[in-house]
């Protein structure tokens, strides 16, 4: 129950154990087409250029930047946590200029500040931001930010590593130009794949670059020739795809489709509401306000006098429960508790509350015992 990876369902593990076949085998090619179609459902898009990059979410991030940004470009980068900083790194390593819009960690991206930056830098190539900031557990208004980018003639580049499958994400309806995610969060697949999708405006920029894409491996003008749709088009070898990992992603996407994406969004929200209510009853405080919190991840402030690493050690050794620590400016200040994918169930909520209460009580923390679980159960099982 940390910030990822989440629990992997036995169906996905079983799929990954299937015999490995060639990455150009007709059966595998047929599955590739199914993966693309299922990813379009997950992203809520009809984009033709929708595929899983054969590497983790960080590579999906880099794929978006190296394909769309060139040296000399200006990019507005919003940062309200660790991963906005990584966007800046990508922009600067390309030789472009990153104009930073910074907000306090634990708060969503300020729309007014983003718009002021776009006004002050006409001709900016893109507006880049993190939809669901995993380092803090805050959810920003992706729909409004993408609308701002379109208004000022900039592309939108969106990090959806933690939001895909767990929070409403409407790529086409919101006008998202380029977006990337990861397989190990709400999709509950093994780490190592990064779904991406590019809209028409982004594809036009990609096809009219002045220079070659900086990365050969992540050059989507080459990769999409391997992932091209059927209809008699010949697929050209680019790299050896991670066959068994893609088996797993295919199965996890089938499970998302079976559940229904709206049902998945609602499940993550309900379980998160119950967990947060339980912690509040216990006397623990979240980092992020209720209105802005990310259903998949709750950053919980460590109470004064509590040994944070010791708490995590006891949770793991005594209960088999893994939670995350703080990153960057929040190191030593918060626990990051995930409710993602197959790890977002009432059983996980009750286990976490019980384990945390027992552990903190043993450590002499000043909490309210015996109230968290009943509060959560009332939310979870109110019907």
Asked which of 11-15, 43-47, 191-195, 363-367 is least confident by mean pLDDT, the reply is: 363-367
Domain 10-258 in this protein, CATH class: alpha beta
pLDDT grade for 38, boundaries at 50, 70 and 90: very high
* Calpha distance 5→171 (Å, rounded): 24
* Calpha distance 282→82 (Å, rounded): 29
Whether pLDDT at 163 is above 70? yes
Model pLDDT, residue 65? 98
> Which is it for strands 194-198 and 138-139: parallel, antiparallel or unpaired?
unpaired
Strand order in the sheet with 324-325: 297-301, 334-338, 324-325
Nearest Cα to Cα of residue 163 among 189, 137, 131? 131
* Calpha distance 96→359 (Å, rounded): 48
* Calpha distance 65→158 (Å, rounded): 10
Torsion sign across C-alpha atoms 115, 101, 124, 140: negative
pLDDT in tens, 96-119: 999 999 999 999 999 999 999 999
pTM above 0.75, yes or no: yes
pLDDT in tens, 334-347: 999 999 999 999 99
Could you state, in order of their start, the residue ranges of all structural domains in the chain?
10-258, 261-380
For residue 320, give every residue at least 6 positions away whose Cβ sits within 8 Å of its Cβ, in sequence order, or none: none
For the CA atoms of 202, 242, 168, 269, the dihedral, rounded to the nearest 10 degrees, stands at -160
Whether pLDDT at 330 is above 70? yes
Sort 346 into a burial class: Cβ within 10 Å, 0-12 / 13-18 / 19+: middle
Model pLDDT, residue 227? 86
pLDDT in tens, 7-26: 999 999 999 999 999 988 88
Nearest Cα to Cα of residue 1 among 381, 342, 266, 371? 342
Does domain 261-380 correspond to CATH entry 3.90.1150.10?
yes
Q: Average of pLDDT values for 182-199?
A: 97
* Calpha distance 376→14 (Å, rounded): 33
Whether pLDDT at 270 is above 60? yes
pLDDT grade for 226, boundaries at 50, 70 and 90: confident
């Amino acid at each position: 129950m940390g910030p990822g990876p989440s629990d992997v369902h036995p169906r996905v593990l079983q799929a990954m154990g299937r015999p490995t076949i060639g990455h150009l085998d007709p059966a595998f090619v047929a599955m590739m087409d199914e993966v693309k179609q299922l990813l379009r459902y997950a992203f809520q898009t009809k984009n033709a250029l929708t595929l899983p990059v054969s590497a983790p979410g960080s590579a999906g991030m880099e794929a978006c930047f190296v394909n769309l940004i060139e040296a000399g470009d200006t990019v507005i980068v919003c940062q309200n946590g660790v991963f906005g900083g990584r966007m800046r790194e990508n922009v600067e390593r390309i030789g472009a200029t990153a104009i930073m819009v910074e907000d306090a960690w634990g708060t969503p991206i300020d729309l007014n500040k983003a718009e002021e930056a776009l006004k002050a830098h006409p001709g900016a190539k893109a507006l880049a931001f993190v939809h669901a900031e995993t380092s803090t557990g805050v959810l920003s208004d992706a729909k409004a930010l993408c609308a701002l980018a379109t208004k000022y003639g900039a592309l939108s580049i969106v990090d959806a590593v933690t939001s895909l499958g767990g929070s409403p994400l409407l790529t086409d309806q919101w006008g998202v130009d380029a977006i990337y995610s990861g397989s190990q969060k709400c999709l509950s697949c093994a780490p190592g794949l990064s779904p991406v999708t590019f809209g028409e405006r982004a594809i036009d920029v990609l096809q009219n670059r002045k220079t070659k894409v900086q990365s050969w491996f992540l050059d989507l003008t080459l990769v999409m020739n391997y992932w091209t749709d059927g209809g008699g088009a010949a697929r050209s070898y680019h790299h050896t795809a991670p066959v068994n990992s893609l088996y797993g992603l295919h199965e996890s996407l089938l499970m998302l489709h079976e559940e229904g994406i709206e049902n998945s969004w609602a499940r993550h929200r309900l379980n998160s509401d119950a967990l947060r209510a339980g912690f509040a009853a216990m006397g623990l405080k979240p980092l992020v306000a209720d209105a802005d919190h990310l259903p998949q991840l709750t950053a919980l402030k460590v109470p004064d006098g509590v040994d944070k690493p010791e708490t995590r050690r006891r949770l793991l050794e005594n209960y088999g429960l893994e939670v995350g620590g703080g990153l960057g400016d929040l190191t030593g200040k918060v626990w990051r508790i995930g409710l993602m994918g197959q790890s977002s169930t009432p059983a996980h909520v009750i286990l976490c509350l019980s384990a945390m209460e027992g552990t903190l009580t043993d450590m002499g923390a000043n909490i309210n015992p015996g109230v968290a679980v009943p509060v959560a159960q009332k939310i979870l099982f109110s019907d």
